[in-house]
Structure 1
Amino acid sequence: METKVFKPDEIPAAAALLAAGELVAFPTETVYGLGADATNVDAVKQVYRAKGRPSDNPLIVHVADVATVERFAMPLSETAKKLIKAFWPGPLTMIFKLKPNALATEVTGGLQTAAFRNPDNAATLALIRAAKTPIVGPSANTSGKPSPTLAEHVYHDLNGKIAGILDDGPTKVGVESTVLDLSTDQPAILRPGAITPEAIEAVIGMPVQTEAHHVGATEVPKAPGMKYKHYAPNAQVYIVDRSEDWPQALAWAAQQDVPMGVMATDAILNQNQIPSNCEQFSLGTDIQSASQRLFAGLRHFDTETEIKDILCQAFENKGLGLAYMNRLNKSAGQTHFSV
């Protein structure tokens, strides 16, 4: 299969492929997603095959309007309506109870709930409208690998496996959307993202559960990223927890007889002597730029060098740092540099 790259002025052609049951990757403000008609079971099955994704890992349904959600979900609560008004379009995915037999089990993982998102990307919203169908959209990468923040990342992983890629340049946020479960009595964040617990609580006026990011080996996850290893490059990632740990971490790196990677903010890179066997990748100046660049850095060391180990900077586990550290811990397999 030839994978065609479309520009935003070619959306009708990309939408025609989706409507015909083909797979087309699409941009969002978070990462690139792998699109298929959410109402076409055969198309959805292709998503799992293309990614090598476990079949009990549910998919997020991307929509261009609230009316589409109401076609499939049970009546929306006042809490849901407040959140939609505040954060859609945007990086917030919400899980709702479904009407009976509203979506195929291939979309829901066999659950009676489904996750919906209205992405903040004009090209993708136009794509969904032109295709005249909601589209499933897991990250457009090989399952378990760092999520794609450029069309080139998608092409690297899925060239020849999907029909097309809608290229709208680099994503803005860089980590996947916040997933909020509204199918339970207390709203619960199943995956942290750019929309923080504090921002959600300020809108709905009630506490949000935040310790629901993992499930057991025999449980079916309600949202992506809760059960399986994610975001992992070929190299082993070591998390450097504190700025004062960097001199010792870099001294250790200098003693290794293999090329090493270093991912850190400009302040860390400028304040420390980087060993000659270490290649640098800047995470910018703060948590916003670090979140945007995290996956690009992991992919850089995966595809452009022979790096076997990567030292990566930690951030405080609050605000956007919750999302950043969630992804970094998974990419590292919870491995931290030990002083």
Structure 2
Amino acid sequence: MSLPRPDLTTERLHPDDAGIARGAEILRAGGLVSFPTETVYGLGGDACSETAVASIFAAKDRPSFNPLIAHVSDLEMARAYAHFSDLALRLAMAFWPGPLTIVLPLRKTSKLAELTTSGLQTVGMRMPDHTTARRLISAFGGPVAAPSANPSGRISPTTADHVIDGLDGRIDAVIDDGNCPVGVESTIVGFDGDDVILLRPGGLPIENIERCLARKLKHPTFAMQEGDQPIAPGQLTSHYAPQATVRLNADHALPHEVLLGFGPVKNAAENLSQNADLQEAAANLFTMLRRLDATRKAIAVSPIPDHGLGRAINDRLNRAAAPRG
């Protein structure tokens, strides 16, 4: 893990005009600003600056082969950097702004940093459904590369305090605008000819996308192996992980564990949703994992239904529970 810089004090900015202007100023100077989205807090840098994007990787200790999402404030900005097929445009019109990232071919005139795309000829683009995020991007005037604002592989942040806990002294500022309402990262889709491929389940249920397109999404036919290059964020086998080990589909906690419950279960140290509401569970997931990780015990997790937002929750939990290198 890279160490905090003694000469860098992480500013906490308000989501007002002055805070937005200060955040945009930092981005234009090549600095890093964490900002809220509807999914999680992102760690933003100028997506067209190799130096700024390198600083994101350094702050997070993120593998440089793992591509970033370029966040935009409007569709016009996105189309200046990437090609939209009819299918991609249909999805953008239906679900942007929102928790959907679309992987698109780069335009030849694109000035996105190669580190943003990890050298690929595609880029994941998203328009966040959060006024503060879009105001910051618009004030900056270009796409902002922004993975989640946490040390690489660790639990994603849904509050400004979470950001400070992991990255204080490593980034220039965080815009504090409360909790993130969705609580899990965006759904990511790509294309293979006329097929729409699910690359990562997330905050937009795939059923919504399938209804929009009147077709089923395809699922990747490969499993990530050691040495493979991800084509979208969140595809590494071990990811979103607490320090503690995680055991899934548990009906009780063992003596060395604490239980993360779902639904009306007994003896849960934390419960994602007493009423088995998947939207509430998604919003609570990362915050509750952080609380339980602070107990220094292993974490057992109740079964989560694998439909709707449950797919995204289970994806994050499976990666949190995966063996670590």
Question: What TM-score do you get using the length of structure 2 for normalisation?
Answer: 0.91
Q: Which amino acid aligns with 1:295?
A: F
State the distance in 2 between where 1:287 and 1:214 align. 26
Bigger radius of gyration? 1
Which residue of the other structure, out of 156, 164, 174, is the alignment partner of 1:165? 174
SS at match of 1:8: coil
State the distance in 1 between where 2:87 and 2:68 align. 23
The structure-2 alpha-carbon separation of the partners of 1:52 and 1:184, relative to structure 1 and needing over 3 Å to count, comes to farther
The structure-2 alpha-carbon separation of the partners of 1:160 and 1:334, relative to structure 1 and needing over 3 Å to count, comes to closer
Matches within 5 A, 1:56-67: 56-67=65-76
Aligned residue number for residue 291 of structure 2 = 300
SS at match of 1:190: strand
State the distance in 2 between where 1:313 and 1:26 align. 31
Whether the 8 Å contact between 1:189 and 1:213 is mirrored in structure 2 is: no
Q: Which amino acid aligns with 1:311?
A: A
- 2:78 aligned with 1:69: yes
- 2:156 aligned with 1:147: yes
User: For structure 1, which runs of at least 5 residues remain unmatched after alignment?
Assistant: none
Q: CA deviation at 1:211?
A: 4.0
Whether the 8 Å contact between 1:57 and 1:224 is mirrored in structure 2 is: yes
Aligned residue number for residue 42 of structure 1 = 51
Aligned residue number for residue 264 of structure 1 = 261
Aligned residue number for residue 281 of structure 1 = 270
Which residue of the other structure, out of 98, 123, 140, is the alignment partner of 1:90? 98
SS at match of 1:182: strand
Whether the 8 Å contact between 1:26 and 1:167 is mirrored in structure 2 is: yes
State the distance in 2 between where 1:174 and 1:211 align. 24
State the distance in 1 between where 2:263 and 2:86 align. 44
Whether the 8 Å contact between 2:237 and 2:322 is mirrored in structure 1 is: no
- Cα deviation code 1:256-307 (max 9, x no counterpart): 3x4x322113511xxx3x3xxxx7112123211111111111111234x3x3
State the distance in 1 between where 2:193 and 2:69 align. 18
Worse-superposed segment, 8-17 or 109-118: 8-17
Q: Which amino acid aligns with 2:215?
A: M
Aligned residue number for residue 3 of structure 1 = 10
Say how many residue pairs are matched: 312
Aligned residue number for residue 322 of structure 1 = 311
Aligned residue number for residue 24 of structure 1 = 33
Q: CA deviation at 1:184?
A: 4.3
Aligned residue number for residue 220 of structure 1 = 229
The structure-2 alpha-carbon separation of the partners of 1:234 and 1:165, relative to structure 1 and needing over 3 Å to count, comes to same
Q: CA RMSD in A?
A: 1.8
Q: Which amino acid aligns with 2:290?
A: R
- Cα deviation code 1:136-194 (max 9, x no counterpart): 01000000101111111100000000000011111111110000013644110100012
Q: Which amino acid aligns with 2:260?
A: M
User: For structure 2, which runs of at least 5 residues remain unmatched after alignment?
Assistant: 1-7
The structure-2 alpha-carbon separation of the partners of 1:213 and 1:68, relative to structure 1 and needing over 3 Å to count, comes to farther
State the distance in 2 between where 1:318 and 1:28 align. 23
- Cα deviation code 1:23-64 (max 9, x no counterpart): 000100001110001111100000000000000000000000
Which is richer in helix? Answer: 1
State the distance in 1 between where 2:13 and 2:117 align. 29
State the distance in 2 between where 1:328 and 1:65 align. 32
Which residue of the other structure, out of 177, 191, 196, is the alignment partner of 1:187? 196
**Identity, % of aligned pairs?**
40
The structure-2 alpha-carbon separation of the partners of 1:170 and 1:214, relative to structure 1 and needing over 3 Å to count, comes to farther
Whether the 8 Å contact between 2:224 and 2:237 is mirrored in structure 1 is: no
